Amino acid sequence: MVDKNRGCYQIFIEVNPILTGMMLSKKTIGQITSGKVQIPAATCFDLPEKVLQFGTGVLLRGLTDYFIDKANKQGIFNGRIVVVKSTGNAQTDSFDQQDNLYTLCVRGIESGKKVEENIINASVSRVLSARNNWNEILECAANPEMQIVISNTTEVGIVLSDDNIHLSPPESFPGKLLSFLHRRFTICKGDGSGGMIIIPTELLPDNGKKLLTILLELAKRNNLEEAFLNWLQHDNYFCNSLVDRIVPGKLSSEKQKETETLLGYSDELMIMSEVYRLWAIESASEKVKQKLSFCKVDEGVIIAPDIFIYRELKLRLLNGSHTFSCGLAHLAGFTTVKEAMQDGAFFSYIKRLMLQEIAPVITNKELSMEMATHFAAKVLERYANPYIEHKWLSITLQYSSKMHMRNVPLLLNQFAQSGTIPECMCLGFAAHLLFMKSVKVVEGHYFGEANGKEYPIQDDHAAWYATQWKDPENLVKNILSNQDLWGTDLTALTGFAEHVSEKLRWLMDKGAMAVIHSMKAEMADP
């Protein structure tokens, strides 16, 4: 079926003979005969470049790029993305070979109904290496159609450093962005119409404002002209934003082969995501809404003057419960989130954690208990998604910084509001300490052990934790009192250190699985 009324329409073809050995590309896209995949029309490849994106990660490809591709296929946004790859070996071979096309497999349950969608995303025009193609990236500043910057460089990417923006390329993400914006300012001769809409998606409070503050300071350190500082601050829109979609990334090898056989082509860049999606962008500007016209095609894109509620729900109930639970789940022997949710005792633990301990301490005039409970129910459904292989070990990446940012504020609120001991939070924190116990170090990489198997401890503070475990008698006190790590002295929370110590002893003596099941027996389900 072809809808010629749309500017960049989708084609659905009914027949599906299996094509072997055919890689996804612009050249082969016309040979795909599967009726199980949404195929972009040729007109998609002629759209102008409107977005500069820092990051090739699966979250951006599975969420922000998904919205842009969807809008393009409906003839609404009509713009493509230049992606900047800054990390790793800076190679872009897979993207080059497939003409930047990739398949997004959406799997899950929505409103009680099974959803299985396969979408060939054609939103990416080019993938450029910051190391090898910096001049080409800067040349994008001369494109008047280029008006939006998106980034996801992880939480540690938005930091201030003494970067030289005249390097090729600058070392940091803020340095690269500032260099690009300064080139833009020079080309447009300071005209306000040359300003950009910058939307960082890193999981940081007020990420847009923080990025602007860093750029202004970095501009001063690089002795950039006052006129540029004024242009940067007043003619560009730095929007706080929040993204929420579980995008585990590559399919298992078995699922990959199965899907490629179904669709009739191979795809090295194929990724999977859940159905749920949210991109909340904070802005009251009508110009921003007009330029971000992709917001019209999906209710998952929200542009609002204040996105605090969306951020708090996601950060505390989704990310916070993940962080409290990931170490515990791994120690208990669960590999994936869905596997853990099939265990009645673990399901009871995480449900109590969200509804009885997290939800009450985040509610206020703007965020009601009803809203928190409704969101928590959605999270539980998402965790149990049978299609997603979301590994707990992946969630433990930078475990300590996630615990600090996502969960320490919950602990402080809990003790300030009621003073009662949050049993589930204490158990989650104790599991964090045990997970961070290393048993082996290989070339600076730390490994722990659970259920007879070694696992990597991927945390910048792994070495420090290893040192603390050499003094187990004072372990809990020493770790909880580290204000550099937590931003506060957690031993000042009456009874918290004692309960964490008790839970840690239980975990070490009985094992995580036994502790989870005994807690279910002792405590009533919410």
DSSP 231-243: HHHHSSEE--EEE
Reduced 3-state DSSP string for 53-114: EECCCHHHHHCHHHHHHHHHHCCCCCCEEEEEECCCCCCCHHHHHCCCCEEEEEEEEECCEE
How many folded domains does the chain comprise? Answer: 2
pLDDT of residue 14: 40
Q: Is residue 297 part of a domain?
A: no
- Render pLDDT for 289-332 as a digit per residue (tens, 0 to 9): 999 999 999 999 999 999 999 989 999 999 999 999 999 999 99
pLDDT of residue 419: 78
Dihedral sign for Cα 320, 298, 153, 102, please. positive
Dihedral sign for Cα 69, 71, 73, 76, please. negative
- Render pLDDT for 157-192 as a digit per residue (tens, 0 to 9): 899 999 999 999 999 999 999 999 999 999 999 999
Cα dist from 201 to 59, 321, 362, whole Å: 10, 20, 22
* Whether residues 483 and 357 fall in one domain: yes
**What letters, b where the CB count within 10 A reaches 16 and e where it falls short, cover 156-174?**
ebbeeeebebeeebbebbb
Check if the beta carbon of residue 100 is closer than 8 Å to that of residue 81: no
Check if the beta carbon of residue 361 is closer than 8 Å to that of residue 85: no
DSSP string of 348-383?
HHHHHIIIIIIHHHH--SSS-HHHHHHHHHHHHHHH
Q: Is residue 503 part of a domain?
A: yes
What is the span of the domain harbouring residue 40?
Answer: 10-278
pLDDT of residue 11: 42
> Is the bond leading into 174 cis (omega within 30 degrees of zero)?
no
Q: Is residue 291 part of a domain?
A: no
- Render pLDDT for 266-300 as a digit per residue (tens, 0 to 9): 999 999 999 999 999 999 999 999 999 999 999 99
Q: Can you give the CATH number for the domain in which 382 is found?
A: 1.10.1040.10
Task: Report d(CA 309, CA 323) in Å as an integer.
Answer: 20
Q: Is residue 174 part of a domain?
A: yes
* Cross-strand partners of 281: 241, 303
* Whether residues 230 and 178 fall in one domain: yes
Residues of the chain under the 70 pLDDT cut: 1-21, 87-91, 155, 524-526
Q: Is residue 284 part of a domain?
A: no
pLDDT of residue 369: 96
DSSP assignment letter at 266: B
Task: Report d(CA 502, CA 119) in Å as an integer.
Answer: 50
Q: Can you give the CATH number for the domain in which 195 is found?
A: 3.40.50.720
* Whether residues 233 and 126 fall in one domain: yes
User: Tokens at residue 264, please?
Assistant: 């009739």
* Whether residues 486 and 377 fall in one domain: yes
pLDDT of residue 4: 39
Q: Is residue 298 part of a domain?
A: no
pLDDT of residue 332: 98
pLDDT of residue 224: 98
Own/partner pairs for 466-472, CB < 8 Å, 24+ apart? 466/437, 466/438, 466/441, 469/436, 469/437, 469/438
Three-state DSSP at 129 gives strand
- Listed residues 256, 278, 300: the one ending a domain: 278
* Whether residues 228 and 336 fall in one domain: no
pLDDT of residue 2: 41
Task: Report d(CA 207, CA 48) in Å as an integer.
Answer: 28
Q: Is residue 4 part of a domain?
A: no
* Whether residues 228 and 370 fall in one domain: no
- Listed residues 257, 278, 299: the one ending a domain: 278
* Whether residues 34 and 133 fall in one domain: yes
Which candidate, 59, 356, 364, places its Cα nearest to that of 202?
59
* Whether residues 496 and 364 fall in one domain: yes
Q: Is residue 273 part of a domain?
A: yes
pLDDT of residue 155: 65
* Whether residues 22 and 106 fall in one domain: yes
- Listed residues 259, 278, 297: the one ending a domain: 278
- Using DSSP, how many helices (H) and how many strands (E) does the chain show? 24, 17
* Whether residues 360 and 485 fall in one domain: yes
Which candidate, 251, 243, 260, places its Cα nearest to that of 311?
243
pLDDT of residue 92: 74
* Whether residues 68 and 177 fall in one domain: yes
Check if the beta carbon of residue 20 is closer than 8 Å to that of residue 113: no
Task: Report d(CA 101, CA 80) in Å as an integer.
Answer: 12
* Whether residues 238 and 387 fall in one domain: no
374 exposure class (CB count in 10 Å sphere: 0-12, 13-18, 19+): exposed
